[in-house]
A and B are shown apart, each in its own frame.
Chain A
Amino acid sequence: MAAVGETAPETEARRLAEDARDRVRFEEEALELADQVYRVARRMVSSREEAEDLMQETYARAFRSWRSFQPGTNLRAWLLRILTNLNIDRGRRVQRAPDMQPLEEGDYFLYNKLEESTQAPNPDEERVLERLSQDDAVSALSAVPHDFRDAIVLVDIGDFSYNDAAQILDIPVGTVMSRLHRGRRILKRELADRAVTDGGDVT
């Protein structure tokens, strides 16, 4: 219904202008989040090239389907949901039940291992942490199987809540928590392997 004194084409023109304005705002907001989305994306795949391709596909799709985003909900989570689905669609990763063999190493394993290899008697925890390099962290994280890594990357690197992570990965919250718990232990085991093979003192 056109307002009094206003013709139908004018109403239509105004509607289109409002629509364009909403779309521009959406696109700007999504672009502002790109650094944070990339931070997560980069660690979900193995190479920078893959992460960059995935980001472009994600943003292209997001801009096409912007109307399906509900204003007031978490845009960063929405973008990562698209990204995760695209990643699965591309067959980069196969959704499968993660290996649930009991893990021998507990949560103190890494500390004990590092402390053992530190020359100083009874070192403090800062000294122990120095045995790990940035490269150790990057390569240990990439060695964690996908299902566990995704949970770690979303919650510990991307600061998503368990609920958001569950929605992004399309799995129950309890599964996010158990993968996170186990994934962190796997990560620590991988870190322990790397720190120990480094051998000797940190130079």
Chain B
Amino acid sequence: MSGFAIDPCDQCEELLQPFLDRDLSEEERMVAEDHLTGCEYCRKRYRFEEQLRRFVRQAVVEPMSPELKTKLAELRTPLI
């Protein structure tokens, strides 16, 4: 047990989003990396978050209909 008031896993949880966004200071990134090296619990949750983002991204894509594509092309200025 460390003497810190903050639980290291809670702290790691707070750093998850900026870590994956590459938006942490060098110092914060080191804190997260050091903790992740020794903590399987957090590592799993970080890996899950990465996969979740990819999953959501692919799951919500709905291709544009060919009809819409045609309609947009028809909006072009006619060449006189």
Contact = CB atoms under 8 A, between A and B. Distances in A.
Interface of A: 20, 23-24, 27, 31, 34-35, 38-39, 42-43, 48, 52, 55-56, 59-60, 63, 106-108, 110-111, 124-126, 128-129, 132, 134, 137-138, 141, 156-157, 177, 180-181, 184, 187-188
Given A52-B65, A129-B48, 12 more contacts: A43-B60, A52-B68, A59-B75, A107-B17, A108-B13, A108-B16, A111-B45, A111-B48, A124-B44, A156-B56, A156-B57, A177-B23
B29 to A, nearest CB: 16
Contacts of B60: 43, 137-138, 141, 157
B51 A125 contact: yes
21 contacts: A24-B77, A27-B76, A34-B72, A35-B64, A38-B68, A42-B62, A55-B64, A55-B68, A56-B72, A59-B72, A106-B10, A107-B17, A108-B13, A108-B16, A111-B44, A125-B44, A125-B48, A138-B60, A141-B56, A157-B57, A157-B61
The main secondary structure of chain B at its interface with chain A is helix
A126 B51 contact: yes
Given A35-B63, A125-B48, A187 B75 contact: no
Most buried by B among A24, A107, A138, A156: A107
A162 to B, nearest CB: 8
B4 interface: no
B6 interface: no
Given A34-B64, A52-B65, A138 B59 contact: yes
Nearest to B48: A125
Nearest to B43: A125
B22 to A, nearest CB: 11
A157 B58 CA distance: 8
A27 B78 CA distance: 11
Contacts of B79: 20, 24
A124 to B, nearest CB: 8
A39 B56 CA distance: 13
Interface in B1-36: 10, 13-14, 16-17, 23
